[in-house]
Amino acid sequence: MDVNELIAGAAPGGSVMLPSGEFEGPVVIDKPLRLSGQNTTIWARNGAAVRVRSNGVTLENLRVEITDGGECDTAVEADFLTAVKNVEVLGSVRGFGAADGKFDVPKTIALGEFLADAENSFTLSVTVPEQTEIRCSAREVRFSPEVLKAGENKLSVYVSGISAQTVLYAEILFVSTFTRRIYLTGKASRTAEKADLREIFAERRQSDKSDVICLTAARAPEKGDKIALRKGQRVALLPYVGSRFSVYFGCAKKCAADIDPYVFLLDKDGKALGNESLIFFGKERSDCGGVRYFPDDGHIEIDLSAVDYRVEKITLAYAVYAADSVNNFSAVSSPKISVCTDTERISFVMDELTSESCAVAAEFYLYKGEWKISAVGAGYISGIARLCNSFGIDVE
């Protein structure tokens, strides 16, 4: 889908409604209209991802981000007065008055270790361009003040009631004209000193295998949320399935082909952590416990909060057992994966496969602190062994 083509076809004063997913910019709006999304991201590698070149424009229910630039790179720029409703940005803005000012808040507030089962407190200095409200739905985390004034503020963070050996991971929203999302991390320990207004200076990467408590300020999934992905489409997982879900495979077969799932746990470079990072019928559970294979019906269960901290991508593939020139995906119609909680929330039909013996169906990947799903649907004639080798896994 080309967003600029939709805008070009819209009448002045009309509306362009975007579906869920991610769309590459830059998007240029050169006529009065309302551009509205639904869990929709517009992104660009650098330069403004959304550019407003007309008056009478409204932006609503969008996320706009720069992927390769820095926090100071412009994500949204406007030459005319523009209405903004529920727009999250990763980057700066230009043409929005006071909102153009400096937003200096760490992308990640790393608390380090703190005393378990106690109230701990931390302080840091943050700068915001205009009056800003801090929102966090986690009862274990409290901010003071919750409303910041324009300019530099001394911010206190209070964390309480978190048990030992638990890694804290929370999403925090800073809401003003635009919304910005940051992440709060730390680890509760019985042997750590109690933090009493401990000053926070810099980020630190959490690097252990402790239990993780995900405390999110984002919208909880609703029962009606559902999306059918197209090949190449990417969406955030949280609004649909949260951090724990199951994946089922279904298709219509023209022969008695056995199709088995293979799950690869990969690091930031797309390489397996070792041969134990492959979950399939020969190894039904990952060492970290975050991924399980159920042989009775072949479904996969994934708990993102439990995967090894080094894992930044989970690749899900399916392979035809004992594949040959007849026994392959040409004997299968409408192969589909369903990502489910209590019901199907995300689906993807791999309708471009032919004589391939295996296919990568989807990737679950961590991007700037947020887990997403990418609909891949890429087939491989060379088989599952070659796919394993590409991830650094030795197979016979």
| Within-domain flag for 395 | no
Radius of gyration of the chain (CA): 23
Q: What is d(CA 213, CA 188) in angstroms, rounded to the nearest whole number?
A: 11
Phi, psi of 146 (to 5 degrees): -90, -15
Residues 6 or more apart in contact with residue 321 via CB below 8 angstroms: 257, 258, 259, 260
pLDDT at 203: 42
3-state helix, strand, coil in the chain (%, to 5): 10, 50, 40
Average pLDDT over residues 120-129: 95
User: How many angstroms separate the CA atoms of 180 and 163, rounded?
Assistant: 29
Residue 340 lies in a domain: yes
Regarding whether 288 and 170 lie in a shared domain, the answer is no
Please give the pLDDT value at position 323: 67
Number of domains observed in the structure of the chain: 3
pLDDT band at 112 (very low <50, low <70, confident <90, very high): confident
97 falls within a domain: no
- Over the stretch 151-179, which tens digit does the pLDDT of each residue have? 999 999 999 988 887 878 788 999 999 99
Is the per-residue pLDDT at 213 higher than 60? no
Query: Quick one: 30 and 124 in the same domain?
Result: no
CB-side exposure of 96: number of CA atoms within 13 Å?
27
- Of 60, 91, 122, which residue constitutes the final position of a domain? 91
Residue 118 has pLDDT above 90, yes or no: yes
Cα separation values, 234 from 24, 65, 149, 326, 352, Å = 11, 14, 36, 33, 18
Q: Are residues 234 and 338 in the same domain?
A: yes
The DSSP secondary structure of 213-280, one letter per residue, reads: EEE--SPPP-TT--EEEPTT-EEESHHHHTTEEEEEEEEEESS---EEEEEEEE-TTS-BSSGGGEEB
> Pick the residue with more confidence: 1 or 65?
65
Are 195 and 244 part of one and the same domain?
no
- CB neighbour list of residue 86: distance below 8 Å, 6 or more residues apart: 60, 61, 62, 179
Question: Tell me: the pLDDT tens digits for 222-233?
Answer: 445 688 888 878
Q: Is residue 69 part of a domain?
A: yes
Residue 334 in any domain: the answer is yes
Report the DSSP pairing between strands 358-367 and 299-303: unpaired
Q: DSSP per residue over 52-70, as a string?
A: E-SSSEEEEEEEEEESSS-
Sign for the pseudo-dihedral over CA of 97, 58, 62, 351: negative
H or E element, residue 147? strand 147-148
Q: Are residues 32 and 150 in the same domain?
A: no
Does 51 fall in a domain? yes
| pLDDT confidence tier of residue 221, bands split at 50, 70 and 90 | very low
pLDDT of residue 219: 41
Task: Find the farthest-apart pair of alpha carbons in the chain and give their distance in angstroms, rounded.
Answer: 68
Residue at 102 is within a domain: no
Residue 100 CA: distances (Å) to CA of 66, 84, 126, 132: 16, 13, 16, 13
Amino acid in the structure at residue 249: F
Percentage of the chain beyond pLDDT 70 is 89
Pair 234, 278 in one domain = yes
Asked if residue 396 is part of any domain, the answer here is no
Select from 91, 121, 139 the last residue of a domain: 91
Shared domain check, 188 and 81: no
Containing domain of residue 81, as a range? 3-91
Give the model confidence (pLDDT) of 258-299 as tens digits.
888 999 999 988 888 887 889 998 889 998 889 999 988 889
Whether the predicted pLDDT of 234 surpasses 70: yes
Q: What is the pLDDT of residues 182-198, one digit of tens each?
A: 888 888 999 999 999 99
Percent of the chain with pLDDT over 90: 45
Q: Are residues 57 and 180 in the same domain?
A: no
Among 35, 59, 91, the domain-final residue is 91
100 secondary structure, DSSP code: G
Co-location of 164 and 204 in the same domain: yes
First to last CA, the chain: 42
User: Domain containing 117 — which CATH number?
Assistant: 2.60.40.10
**Please, where are the H alpha helices in the chain?**
3-9, 238-241, 384-390
CATH classification of the domain holding 234: 2.60.60.30
User: What CA–CA distance (Å, rounded) separates 117 from 254?
Assistant: 58
Domain check: are 237 and 341 in the same one? Answer: yes
Question: Do 244 and 192 share a structural domain?
Answer: no
Contacts of 338-341 spanning 24+ positions with Cβ under 8 A: 338/247, 338/248, 338/249, 338/250, 339/240, 339/241, 339/245, 339/246, 339/247, 339/373, 340/241, 340/245, 340/246, 340/247, 340/248, 341/221, 341/241, 341/242, 341/244, 341/245, 341/246
Report d(CA 332, CA 336) in Å as an integer: 10
Sorting pLDDT into bands at 50, 70 and 90, what band is 206? very low
Q: Do residues 176 and 136 both lie within one domain? A: yes
Query: What is the enclosing helix (H) or strand (E) of 359?
Result: strand 358-367
- Three-state DSSP at 330 gives helix
pLDDT band (50, 70, 90) for residue 94: very high
If DSSP codes are grouped into helix, strand and coil, which group holds residue 129?
coil
